[in-house]
């Protein structure tokens, strides 16, 4: 076991993937000599060369289009989108080309492309630098969408995503990059598309992912002091979603609250609410409730704390669910 930040774990996972397979390439804006805005790829160009860690032009559509061509030639490109809001210039390439190539070619053409996206708020960034675009991609057939929340997951999930023959949208909670935790670089990891029960409880289930996992765990700790036992499930993967683990948890607790940073309407929480209602309507003792951001763009940094889900908002919603 070793202790490292989530960002360092990603760096180490990328390094291990580059070492293991000469067909793995990294590409993105300023990822080489600079090591990326968040320094996730720091030192990799120096060790693996400019032909494998490529500083690209400032053109997201071109970067993603080029990665599709590289995948068709047998490479496994890993693309870094510098900030979440910058992915939209490449959106057409992702949803109309990358996501559909395997289906369109009747299974003949694989698309082993990973698109790394730092997502979410909480860093006091300016416009277009804090977004939660996960619903767009989760809605798109042909894409896998995953979100790490711990250094352990970051280390292993990036390697599993690179090994996948399907395109993977890899979401990284940017405000958690510098948080440290233990990483076991030898233990056989969980399956990429398996949810994790981060804390066991009996009264209610919190369903969450990415940057909100830590917030939900903090809420569960406070609730325990007041006699409420909260189970926290980290989805880890948004498409495909591990409904087996989710259903098992909610069957035990009979209540569920979904927590995410993305806006409320038509988001991951809405899909979870629908599926739980369809499957467990006669099991649950209260409706599925949601704690989310508001249906507005991410605001300026000085009021961001009012916009993002907080421990207080989560605990208030837990109380509302238990009151039914």
User: What's the pLDDT at 150?
Assistant: 97
Q: Which two tokens stand for residue 188?
A: 């056989």
Q: Which structural domain, as residue segments, surrounds residue 237?
A: 196-322
Element (H, E) at 272: helix 268-280
State the Cα–Cα distance between residues 273 and 276, nearest whole angstrom: 5
203 lies in the same domain as 241? yes
The Cα–Cα gap between 212 and 131 comes to 14
What is the value of pTM for the model shown? 0.96
The pLDDT of 107-115, averaged and rounded, is 95
Instruction: State both tokens at 83.
Output: 């900030």
Residues 7 and 146 in one domain: yes
The model's pLDDT over 36-93, given as tens digits with 9 standing for 90+, comes to: 999 999 999 999 999 999 999 999 999 999 999 999 999 999 999 999 999 999 999 9
Q: Are residues 202 and 107 in the same domain?
A: no
φ and ψ at residue 126, rounded to 5 degrees: -85, 180
102 is catalytic: no
The 10s digit of each residue's pLDDT in 135-166 is 999 999 999 999 999 999 999 999 999 999 99
Percentage, residues of the chain above pLDDT 90: 94
Say if residue 78 is in the same domain as residue 147: yes
Helix axes 243-253, 268-280, angle to 10 degrees: 60
Q: What pLDDT band is residue 127 in, cutting at 50, 70 and 90? A: confident
Confidence of residue 126 (pLDDT cuts 50, 70, 90): confident
- Report how far residue 270's alpha carbon sits from residue 275's, in angstroms, rounded to the nearest whole number: 9
Q: What is the dihedral of CA 146, 147, 151, 156, to 10 degrees?
A: 0
Domain with residue 93: its CATH number is: 3.40.50.970
Catalytic residue among 51, 102, 106, 129: 129
């Amino acid at each position: 076991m070793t202790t490292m930040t989530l960002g360092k774990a990603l760096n180490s996972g990328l390094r291990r993937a580059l070492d293991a397979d000469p067909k793995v390439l990294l590409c993105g804006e300023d990822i080489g000599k600079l090591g990326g805005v968040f320094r996730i790829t720091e030192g990799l160009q120096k060790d693996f060369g400019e032909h494998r860690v490529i500083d690209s032009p400032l053109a997201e559509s071109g970067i993603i289009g080029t990665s599709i061509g590289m995948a068709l030639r047998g490479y496994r490109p890993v693309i870094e989108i510098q900030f979440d809001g910058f992915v939209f210039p490449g959106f057409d390439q992702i949803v109309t080309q990358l996501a559909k190539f395997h289906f369109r070619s009747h299974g003949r053409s694989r698309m082993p492309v990973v698109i790394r996206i730092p997502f979410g708020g909480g860093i006091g960034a300016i416009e277009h630098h804090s977004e939660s675009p996960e619903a767009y991609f989760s809605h798109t057939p042909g894409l896998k969408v995953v979100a790490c929340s711990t250094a352990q997951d970051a280390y292993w999930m990036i390697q599993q995503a690179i090994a996948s023959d399907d395109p993977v949208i890899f979401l990284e909670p940017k405000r958690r990059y510098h948080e440290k935790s233990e990483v076991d670089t030898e233990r056989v990891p969980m399956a990429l598309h398996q949810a994790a029960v981060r804390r066991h409880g009996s009264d209610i289930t919190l369903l969450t992912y990415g940057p909100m996992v830590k917030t939900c765990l903090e809420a569960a700790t406070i609730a325990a002091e007041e006699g409420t036992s909260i189970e926290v499930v980290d989805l880890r993967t948004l498409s495909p979603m591990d409904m087996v683990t989710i259903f098992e948890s909610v069957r035990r607790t009979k209540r569920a609250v979904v927590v995410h940073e993305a806006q409320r309407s038509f988001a991951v929480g809405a899909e979870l609410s629908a599926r739980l209602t369809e499957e467990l309507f006669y099991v649950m003792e209260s409706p599925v409730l949601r704690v989310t951001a508001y249906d507005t763009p991410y605001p300026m940094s000085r009021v961001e704390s009012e916009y993002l889900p907080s421990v207080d908002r989560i605990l208030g919603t837990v109380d509302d669910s238990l009151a039914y």
